[in-house]
């Protein structure tokens, strides 16, 4: 059954998709643009609930027809984008990245892209900027909603339906707020903690609030809430949580304000509607194109290049809508079964890379870029805790030898341990390892730090108190924008414990795309093995300079990891046939050995 068309809803879709695209293209311009996805969720909940309820009221609703319409709506453009991404990934991604892509294509075909991406979250995951299908997590949540909500609407008593919706909405929102501090990744990706956003739209569809006197007020407050979200929320904001309530409420108010000036003349304008109509293929195309453009160029895109990529996105979205989506969705011929078969075939084909099969590089290059065991020497789950770990540090994390060097920091700090262990063969000292993935050694909330990080860092202070190390080495993936105020509480806490020496170890070089990708790209473009040192593909030293200044201001020792790993010839890429880093920033055991031997004299543990 077709609903009465509301052009302002298409205009609202345009706001949502443009917000996401601008965020991914120019994040500093619109730091909260990712809330466009939350706008989409409310719209979907509203429209799908209306479709189902009107069908039920008229007696025309059947599950088979509903799901067939969803297939014709979702599959055509999605199949086209997945095929294009598969082909590009086969030619440009490294084996590990291609395997991840294959898994995500299979998951997309099985309505579970969000769950696959959640399963990949963590220290040993492929970097987000190398995942061309990262954005499909939201589609997975919508697909799961499409599967579950019609059944619930069918089962729930009609006279209690709005109350039931409100209960589901409230329970989901509270779960989202409760889980976010401890399980941020799960809260972001799980349908249970996102359902309240879709339920908000569903509640509006049932409540049918109509009072034209309030339309302009609702619209003004709604667009203000969305605007505030776009500019005041950013990647460091704990999200979704309470923050997501602002754009969700704003979207709800705009949907209810159908008769307002804003809805009738701005959101219903020709330009806004045209963008809204192609918003789905726009969303599908934009992220894979940005990812592969940067992979092919193998350095950050300029603003002009990003603009050109987005222009291509609009062109491909228009082509997809005009020649694929619209003919299949609205044509006389029903393509439901062929679409399902096509998606199944694509999922089956993607099993090839998902199971680790793909184009091969020469053996020397392949062996060089393959990290057989990324956990080697890190003591994961014992002395390097992962997000949300329910166990504390093992007593084995502290040696009995003296002098004792305590290593406190995130996963990059854990990669120092193999180097220290190797040095112990010729030096007499002990190691205490207190490392937590994604948690810099800070005692106040900064950036995207979670409550879990703060809790574990407070425990680490207690462990340092009870073990009285002679030296504490602080190391992390330091932010070039870190401020002295962030580190001051940590330094003050350590001084209060009478720690003999506090050392800040500066950031290691950051390799664009990850060092394995650098090696593969260098070979593909030159036919040669990368030199043992190079300045190509490595970041500037801004983080090093910033941390050096912070250490000086706080009156603690500073050791530059960058100075140890880089010289006038460039930064170390490999030692013999072994890479110095296994990704963008994490050192391999070989790289760790190189770094620790180089800084041992500065730490006072030389011969």
What is the DSSP secondary-structure string of 222-274? HHHHHHHHHHH--TTS--STGGGHHHHHHHHHHHH-TTSHIIIIIITSHHHHH
pLDDT digits 0-9 by tens, 363-419 = 999 999 887 777 888 899 899 998 767 788 999 999 999 999 999 999 999 999 999
Q: What is the rounded distance in angstroms from the CA atom of residue 339 to the CA atom of residue 532? A: 50
CA angle 448, 108, 112 (to 5 degrees): 65
Weakly modelled stretches of the chain, pLDDT under 50? 1
User: Rounded distance, CA 412 to CA 435, Å?
Assistant: 9
State the alpha helices, DSSP H only, in 2-62.
7-25, 36-58
Q: Quick one: pLDDT at residue 480?
A: 74
Q: What is the pLDDT of residue 49?
A: 95
Q: What is the pLDDT of residue 94?
A: 83
Quote the tokens at residue 565: 């790993």
367-603 CATH, one of 3.30.160.70, 3.40.50.1110, 3.90.1200.10, 3.40.640.10: 3.40.50.1110
What six digits make up the tokens of 575? 């030692």
DSSP summary character for residue 324: I
What tens digit of pLDDT does each residue of 512-551 get?
A: 878 998 998 889 888 899 999 999 888 887 789 999 999 9
Residue 175 CB partners (closer than 8 Å, separation 6+): 192, 193
- Beta-strand runs (E) in 548-604: 557-559, 566-567, 570-572, 574-575, 578-579
Residues of the chain within CATH 3.40.50.1110 domain(s) are 367-603
Q: Over the stretch 181-216, which tens digit does the pLDDT of each residue have?
A: 888 899 999 999 999 999 999 999 998 667 788 899
- The per-residue pLDDT for 209 is 66
Instruction: Categorise residue 298: left if φ over 0, alpha if ψ from -120 to 50, beta otherwise.
Output: left
């Amino acid at each position: 059954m077709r609903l009465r068309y509301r052009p302002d809803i298409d205009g609202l879709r345009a706001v949502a998709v443009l917000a996401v695209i601008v965020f991914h293209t120019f994040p500093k311009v619109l730091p909260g643009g990712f809330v466009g996805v939350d706008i989409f969720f409310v719209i979907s909940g509203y429209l799908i609930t209306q479709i189902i309820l009107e069908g039920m009221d008229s007696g025309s609703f059947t599950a088979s027809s509903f799901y067939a319409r969803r297939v014709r709506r979702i599959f055509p453009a999605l199949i086209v984008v997945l095929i294009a991404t598969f082909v590009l990934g086969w030619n440009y991604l490294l084996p590990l990245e291609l395997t991840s892509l294959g898994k995500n294509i299979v998951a997309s075909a099985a309505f579970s892209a969000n769950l696959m991406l959640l399963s990949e979250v963590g220290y040993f995951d492929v970097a987000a900027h190398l995942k061309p299908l990262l954005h499909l997590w939201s589609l997975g949540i919508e697909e799961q909603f499409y599967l579950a909500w019609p059944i619930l609407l069918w089962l729930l008593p009609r006279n209690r339906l709005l109350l039931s919706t409100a209960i589901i909405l409230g329970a989901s929102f509270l779960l989202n707020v409760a889980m976010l501090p401890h399980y941020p990744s799960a809260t972001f990706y799980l349908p249970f903690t996102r359902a309240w956003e879709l339920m908000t739209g569903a509640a509006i569809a049932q409540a049918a609030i109509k009072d034209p006197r309030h339309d302009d007020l609702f619209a003004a407050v709604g667009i203000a809430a969305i605007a505030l979200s776009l500019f005041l929320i950013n990647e460091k904001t704990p999200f979704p949580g309470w923050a997501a309530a602002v754009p969700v409420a704003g979207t709800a108010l705009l949907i209810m304000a159908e008769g307002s000036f804003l809805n009738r003349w701005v959101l219903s304008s020709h330009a806004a509607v045209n963008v809204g109509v192609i918003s789905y293929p726009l969303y599908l195309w934009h992220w894979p194109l940005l990812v592969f453009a940067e992979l092919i160029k193998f350095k950050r895109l300029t603003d002009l290049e990003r603009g050109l990529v987005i222009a291509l996105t609009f062109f491909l979205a228009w082509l997809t809508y005009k020649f694929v989506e619209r003919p299949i969705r609205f044509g006389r011929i029903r393509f439901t079964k062929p679409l399902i078969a096509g998606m199944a075939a694509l999922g089956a084909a993607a099993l090839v890379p998902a199971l680790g099969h793909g184009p091969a590089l020469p053996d020397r290059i392949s062996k060089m870029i393959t990290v057989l065991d990324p956990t080697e020497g890190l003591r994961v789950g014992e002395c390097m805790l992962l997000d949300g770990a329910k166990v504390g540090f093992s007593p084995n994390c502290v040696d009995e030898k003296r002098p004792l060097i305590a290593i406190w920091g995130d996963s990059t700090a854990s990669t120092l341990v193999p180097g220290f262990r190797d040095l112990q063969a010729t030096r007499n000292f002990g190691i205490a390892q207190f490392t937590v993935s994604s948690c810099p050694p800070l005692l106040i909330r900064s950036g995207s730090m979670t409550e879990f990080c703060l809790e574990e860092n407070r425990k680490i202070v207690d462990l340092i108190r009870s073990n009285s190390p002679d030296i504490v080495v602080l190391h992390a993936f330091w932010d070039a924008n870190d401020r002295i105020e962030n580190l001051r509480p940590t330094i003050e806490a350590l001084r209060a414990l009478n720690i003999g020496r506090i050392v800040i170890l500066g950031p290691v070089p950051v390799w664009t795309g990850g060092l394995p990708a650098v090696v593969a790209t260098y070979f593909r473009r030159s036919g040669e093995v990368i030199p043992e040192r190079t300045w190509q593909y490595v970041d500037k030293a801004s983080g090093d300079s910033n941390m050096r200044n912070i250490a000086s201001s706080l009156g603690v020792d500073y050791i530059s990891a960058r100075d140890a790993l880089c010289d006038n010839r460039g930064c170390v890429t490999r030692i013999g046939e072994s890479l110095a880093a296994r990704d963008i920033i994490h050192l391999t055991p070989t790289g760790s050995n190189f770094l620790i031997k180089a800084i041992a004299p500065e730490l006072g543990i030389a011969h």
